[in-house]
Chain A
Amino acid sequence: MTVALDRQRKVITGNAAAAYAAMLCRPDVVAAYPITPQSEVIEQLAKFHADGDLDCEYVTVEGENSAQNVVCAATMAGGRAFTATSSYGLVYMYDAMFNTAGYRAPVVMINVNREPPGIHAVCSGQQDMISVRDTGWVQLIVEDCQEILDTTIMAFRLAEDHDIQLPVIVNYDGYYLSFLAESVEIPAIAEVDAYLEVLKSQPSRPRLIPGEPLGCGSHGIGMGYVELRKKHMAAMERVKPKLEEIDREFVQAFGRSYGGQVEEYRTEDADIVLVTSGSAVGTARTVVDAKRDEGVKVGLVKLRLYRPFPVERLSSALAGKKAIGVLDRSICFGWDCGPLYMETLAVTPRIGVIPMLSFIDGLANMDITQEHISRMIDDIHGASRGLPYQEVTWLP
């Protein structure tokens, strides 16, 4: 045993944090295929496995599509399974992802955000996660290395919950978080065992094992198909309150909270709000504080849950505000704006028509700087005061 499985604080990269979290949750099966900027996740897991710290079946698959099928089937047999990917790998498992979600397989997957194929790029961007938003998976996005570790643990708790039984992706920005080393508190494995213990007392889900004539993957005919789709949708909706509940449990167990579906930062008395996700949130906090010092009543909403879309929490955070800006690290083909922006626009019936601005920044590892966010806030502020504004702005 080389890794101390007691609680410890270490300076580790985002990728290492993901690997620690997965290891602490004791997966039965891990499927591994490398892709930049994810590779260190599976390398660290291989090291844990080789050193006897991770007792699992470590399957060195020949491609990400296979990785997804391995973990889906393993969970259908009754196991806990984990994989990690990014970008090209994520889209390569596209057909298998539908399988996993449709089977209600509680797979947990790390996706290190990177631009997908189309324009060859080995760099950060959220387009990959956007491109799989309709596969029926739960999607979370995190801000820093601690949150990577904590959210991955929460992801197993969420995915395997009897009320949910859906696969979960934990997304984090490639390069900005994958290779960033931060001080991270790593729980003791016994603490994680205790946190996940509640799952054992829940009703068990069906499992494909010999001796129990059970089929997985039946043809859905007519209303049989419709029923499954409706149930899947309903399970998605249950994720929203469940994530809040899980966050409360997490605070009790580990002393850290992330606010559940969204985190609201200085929004209560704000006139204007910037909505964003991922590592840019860290930068945005700094700029929001600076603008507040200048007298601008600006707040920040950090979107943690992307699928299902946190309609209610977002509406309540944005209600009564004078103007909203949404910062996307991706684009929405066909709508000429950012995708999170487009989905935020859809809450208009709940909050009334107010100026909403789309900011597209951070594609292809172009930094989202404090100066950029300052300009965004100025634009939102101008809009809130009735000045003419541009609906969609690409930065830099």
Chain B
Amino acid sequence: MAEQRKRQPKVCDYYKNEDQFSPGVAFCAGCALELNLRFISRVLGKDIIFVGTPSCSAPVLHGQNAAAWHRHGYYACTMTGVASSASGLTRYYQKAGIDATVVCHTGDGCAQDVGFQTLSGAAERNEKMIYITYDNEGYMNTGIQQSSATPFGASTSTTPSGSASRGKTTGSKNMPLVMAMHDIPYVATATLSHLEDYAKKLVKAKEKAKEGFVYLHVFCPCVVGWRIPVDSSIQVCRAAVRTNYFPLWEVDEDGYRVTQPVKDPRPVGELTGMLGKFKHLRDEELAILQGQVDHRFKVLQALCAGSA
């Protein structure tokens, strides 16, 4: 009888390092961030220097008095100062000949709104670092307020659905594409339902950060803010990919490509139907959102075709 060997998922090949985070961490039950941080830690290794800011990741990424939740070096700063602080670190390391990988880890509110100027500036200067945005589509740590990453129609605490208005009235910024327009060495999107894809991108990011600025945009559901069951984050990620709501792509010196092509994309309603923040959505509003998803994917396809 042939030996039945339990085959490990391929992503385990990327787990080169020990998880540097403590066994218990102060994240919400089911929060995608816990997986995100432990994953980054295991794939990139303990010598990365995190740069963080007030956000959902702050209670874990930053210490409390003289204690910490992990053993990585970290630098915490104001939301307005993430990419600039990281620039100060990476520039000094270069001057001093210190081999270091600086990893900014912020939410969409910081990256796309209040910290955007400094992020754009650092990218324009092609500073050597990896900037990871975990996109939970709002300011979640402060109580689920909208950000420029909140999609059209979503109900948040500052765009609630009521009788006079029904959720966010504008679409989100296409942030990964905005960053791609800075012509930096590497930009990619990733999510937690496709860990092997994410791992490859992290490894590539580390290499590319030796040349210049790397931007990764990671779709991270928020259990509390999106009103989903605590055990459903991964399914939500998978639905985001399968509906082309959040396509997984990358761009480098060889051009744009979709790394996880979806053969028959599902209607975005299959994603929004899972999320409490969209439960008020009418058919005509859903159609607008679908139109935005389709348009955005068309632009991506054109860029991919243009690079071929």
A343 contacts B by Cβ under 8 Å: no
Given contacts A95-B81, A96-B81, A220-B65, contact A29 B73 (CB under 8 A): no
Which residues on the B side are within 8 Å of A68 (C-beta)?
81, 84
Most buried by B among A68, A74, A79, A210: A210
Contact for B93 among A81, A209, A222, CB less than 8 A: A209
Given A81-B88, A217-B76, A221-B65, A57 and B94 contact (CB-CB distance below 8 Å): yes
Contact of A76 with B by CB under 8 A:
yes
Q: Are B88 and A69 in contact (CB under 8 A)?
A: yes
Cβ of B118 and Cβ of A66 under 8 Å apart?
yes
B175 interface residue, CB < 8 Å from A? no
Pick the residue among B48, B64, B88, B125 that contacts A218 (CB under 8 A).
B64
Which stretch in B96-104, B192-200, B240-248, B279-287 binds the other chain? B96-104
A237 to B191, CA, bound (A): 51
Does B89 contact A210, Cβ atoms closer than 8 Å?
A: no
Q: Determine the distance from Cα of A221 to Cα of B62 in the docked complex, in whole angstroms.
A: 12
Which residues of chain A are within 8 angstroms of B159 by Cβ–Cβ distance?
none
Tell me if B27 counts as interface (CB < 8 A to partner A): no
Q: Contact: B63 with A219, CB < 8 Å?
A: yes
Interface residue A62 (Cβ < 8 Å from any Cβ of B):
yes
> Most chain-B Cβ atoms within 10 A of its Cβ — which of A56, A209, A211?
A209
Question: How far, in angstroms, from A96 to B118 measured CA to CA in the complex?
Answer: 12
B62-119: which residues lie under 8 A (CB-CB) from chain A?
A: 62-66, 68, 71-78, 80-81, 83-89, 91-96, 98-101, 117-118
CB neighbours (8 Å) of A77 from chain B are 88-89, 92-93, 96, 98
B87 and A70: CB pair below 8 A?
Answer: yes
Within 8 A of B (CB), among A62-76: 62-63, 65-74, 76
- Contact status of A28 and B96, CB under 8 A, knowing A61-B84, A215-B73, A217-B77: yes
For residues 48 through 100 of chain A, which have their beta carbon under 8 Å from a beta carbon of chain B?
A: 56-57, 59-63, 65-74, 76-79, 81, 95-96, 99
> For A81, what are the chain B residues with a Cβ–Cβ distance below 8 Å?
88, 92
| Interface status of B261 (Cβ within 8 A of chain A) | no
Q: Chain A residues with Cβ under 8 A from B77's Cβ?
A: 69, 72-73, 96, 99, 217
Which one, A57, A74, A218, contacts B66 given CB within 8 A? A218
In chain B, positions 234-278 with a C-beta closer than 8 Å to chain A are: none
Interchain CA distance A224-B165 in the complex, whole Å: 45
Please give me the residue from chain A that is nearest to B78 by CB atom: A95
Of the four ranges (under 10, 10 to 19, 20 to 34, 35 or more), the interface on chain B belongs to 35 or more
Query: Does any Cβ of A come within 8 Å of B207's Cβ?
Result: no
| A269, CB-defined interface residue at 8 Å | no
Are the C-beta atoms of B78 and A99 separated by less than 8 Å? yes
Q: How large is the interface on A (under 10, 10 to 19, 20 to 34, 35 or more residues)?
A: 35 or more
Contacting residues, chain B, for A208 (C-beta < 8 A)? 49, 73, 75, 89
Chain A residues, Cβ within 8 Å of B120:
62
Report the minimal beta-carbon distance from A86 to chain B, rounded to whole angstroms.
19
Q: A388 an interface residue at 8 Å Cβ cutoff? A: no
Q: How far is the CA of A77 from the CA of B74 in the complex (A)?
A: 11
Q: A209-B93, A209-B100 are in contact. Are A219 and B47 (CB under 8 A)?
A: no
Max chain B CB contacts within 10 Å: which of A57, A62, A63, A77? A77
Distance between Cα atoms of A107 and B263 in the complex (Å): 55
Residue A11 lies at the interface, judged by CB distance under 8 Å to chain B: no
Known: A96-B81, A213-B73, A218-B76. A59 touches B91 (CB 8 A): yes
Chain B positions within 8 Å of A336 at CB level: none
B118 x A65 contact (CB < 8 A): yes
B143 in contact (CB, < 8 A): no
Minimum CB distance partner of B98 in chain A: A209
Chain B residues with Cβ below 8 Å from A3 are: none
- Distance, CA A69 to CA B58, complexed state (A): 18
* Chain B contacts with A in 39-66, Cβ cutoff 8 A: 46-49, 58-59, 62-66
Residues of B within 8 A of A121 (CB): none
From A63, A74, A95, A220, contact of B121 by CB (8 A): A63
A212 within 8 A of B: yes
Per CB-CB distance, the 3 closest pairs between chain A and chain B, nearest first, are A217-B76, A73-B88, A62-B121
